[in-house]
Amino acid sequence: MNNKPIGIFDSGIGGLTVAKAIKEALPNERIIYFGDTAHLPYGDKSKESIRAYSKRITGFLLSKGCKAIVIACNTASAHAYSELRKFYPKVPIINVVNPTVNYCAEKFDAGKVAVMATKGTIKSRIYPRKIKKKNPALEVPQVAAPLLVPMIEEGYFNNNISQTIINSYLSAKNLQDIQALILGCTHYPLIKSEVEHFFQGDVEVIDSASVVAEFTKKVLKKEGLEADKPEGKDQFIVSDYTSSFEETSKLFFGKSVHLVEERIWD
């Protein structure tokens, strides 16, 4: 048993979709969430920058007493996970890619499982590489959707314009005849219904938040780190505060959150 908090981080507030799923799956757990809004978006930053940001944020969360770290960002999972594991070998570190890869490789025997994500995640080819390693019979076409993160961060979804942008990405030729689509960015659960609307129920749309929450539960259990009761308040920290982030956070987390600014780069 261990009642210390779980540290969760993302480039911004999109990772709150993962934090929400973790709170639902693990109601006894306390979380400290860090959104690196000063450096958002990570999707078009270099690997080197993302590694440096992720290391600094993990160090910060560990200094706050976190017992485990969840990288609630696909781009940081793609670029910084191995590095963080090497740098902090004693801390359980969970990324959002591996649990989703395992889910797909086990669920689909053959056919096409596509991935839509930021430029950084698509360029890393982390999903095709890992899925094909586990199940070579699967094809993994990819589509980069750079407009979606800023659009969602602005609270811009479930309207005609967002549906048009989403439709245009999903009309890519290589996405024809797919069986499933991985929403490879933690911002995308907010547009899941618009993606499902495009496919009219013919394609399974996989949102990694719940898969990752279940995986986090397993890891805490295996490591004997589960909390036995809810203790203390959750904290939500950003590296650059604006009131619009606080507004949008509600949509991601499902209820109001109070964002506190910590300028950990200064």
Instruction: Please identify every residue annotated as catalytic.
Output: 73, 185
User: Is the preceding peptide bond at 5 cis, omega within 30 degrees of 0?
Assistant: no
Site for ligand DGL in 160-219 (CB under 6 A): 185-187
Please pick, from the candidates 54, 58, 100, 121, the single residue that binds ligand DGL as defined by CB under 6 A: 121
Which of residues 40, 131, 195, 237 is near ligand DGL by CB under 6 A?
40
Nearer to ligand DGL, 149 or 170 (CB): 149
Of the candidates 242, 245, 237, 243, the residue with the CA atom closest to the CA atom of residue 263: 237
Beta carbon of residue 112, minimum distance to ligand DGL (angstroms, whole number): 22
- 41 makes contact with ligand DGL (CB under 6 A): yes
Closest contact distance (angstroms) between CB of 74 and ligand DGL is 4
> Among residues 10 and 29, whose Cβ is nearest to ligand DGL?
10
Picking from 147, 186, 183, 189, the residue whose alpha carbon sits closest to that of residue 35 is 186
**Is the Cα dihedral 43, 256, 33, 246 positive or negative?**
positive
Exposed e or buried b per residue across 55-76, where buried means at least 16 C-beta atoms within 10 angstroms of its C-beta: eebbebbbeeebbbbbbbbbbb
Cβ proximity to ligand DGL: between 7 and 12 the closer is: 12
* Rounded to 5°, angle at Cα 184 from 181 and 187: 115
How many residues bind ligand DGL, per CB under 6 A? 17
Q: How far is the CB of 223 from ligand DGL (least distance, A)?
A: 25
Q: Considering only residues 223 through 242, tell me which ones interact with ligand DGL, judged by CB under 6 A.
A: none
252 CB-near residues (< 8 Å, 6+ apart): 13, 14, 16, 17, 20, 190
Instruction: Provide the mask over 64-83, with x wherever binding to ligand DGL is found by CB under 6 A and - wherever it is not.
Output: ---------xxx--------
Contacting residue, 5, 7, 14, 128, with ligand DGL by CB under 6 A: 14
Counting Cα atoms < 13 Å in the Cβ hemisphere of 133 gives: 9
Structure tokens at 238: 């950003």
E strand spans, 209-251 = 235-238
Closest contact distance (angstroms) between CB of 170 and ligand DGL is: 18
Binding test (CB under 6 A) with ligand DGL, winner from 58, 95, 100, 118: 118
Instruction: Check binding of 42 to ligand DGL (CB under 6 A).
Output: yes
- The Cα 186–Cα 105 span in angstroms is 20
Binding site for ligand DGL (CB under 6 A): 10-12, 14, 40-43, 73-75, 118, 121, 149, 185-187
